[in-house]
């Protein structure tokens, strides 16, 4: 199926541990950020988003942290499971979102059972 190639930063995590995936964004004017998950052979899927008026947002087992001072975004996955194995992308935009998302290069998360 369709998938990202092999030349990605890789994070290997033991099942049950927490994962932290980092992303540096480029545009200081960006005020909206998304994390996408891409499983092998599939298109990217939305996980969680955050607006620049927040520095933390929690979902189910996932938390996104935003540090606008250093233009850094992180995705924390609690109690990582084998189904979390995928490539994770951050994306940035300027609201109201009439311009396209700009994506980072991605990080491959590999969960060790």
Query: Applying CB under 8 A, which residues contact other proteins?
Result: 1-8, 32, 34, 36, 41-46, 49, 89, 93, 95, 97-98, 100-106
**Distance of alpha carbon 79 from alpha carbon 62, whole angstroms:** 10
Minimum separation from the CB atom of position 85 to other proteins (A): 18
Specify the residue, 31 or 72, whose C-beta has the smaller distance to other proteins: 31
Which CB, 68 or 103, lies closer to other proteins?
A: 103
20: nearest Cα among 90, 101, 102:
90
| Nearer CB in complex with other proteins: 34/111 | 34
Minimum Å distance from CB 7 to other proteins?
A: 4
Q: Are 13 and 30 in contact (CB under 8 A)?
A: no
CB of 106 to other proteins, least distance (A): 5
Token pair 């909206």: residue: 32
SS3 category, 84 = helix
Q: Whole-number minimum distance, CB 19 to other proteins, in Å?
A: 19
* Partners of residue 56 on adjacent β-strands: 65
Q: What are phi and psi of 20, to 5 degrees?
A: -130, 120
């Amino acid at each position: 199926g369709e998938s990202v190639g092999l030349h990605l930063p890789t994070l290997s995590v033991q099942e049950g541990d927490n994962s932290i995936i980092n992303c540096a964004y480029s545009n200081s004017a960006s005020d909206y950020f998304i994390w996408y998950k891409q499983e092998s052979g599939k298109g990217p899927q939305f996980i969680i988003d955050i607006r620049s008026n927040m520095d933390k947002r929690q979902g189910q087992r996932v938390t996104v942290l935003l540090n606008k001072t250093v233009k850094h975004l992180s995705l924390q996955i609690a109690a990582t499971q084998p189904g979390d194995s995928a490539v994770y992308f951050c994306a940035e935009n300027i609201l109201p979102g009439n311009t396209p998302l700009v994506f980072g290069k991605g990080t491959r998360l590999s969960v060790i059972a």
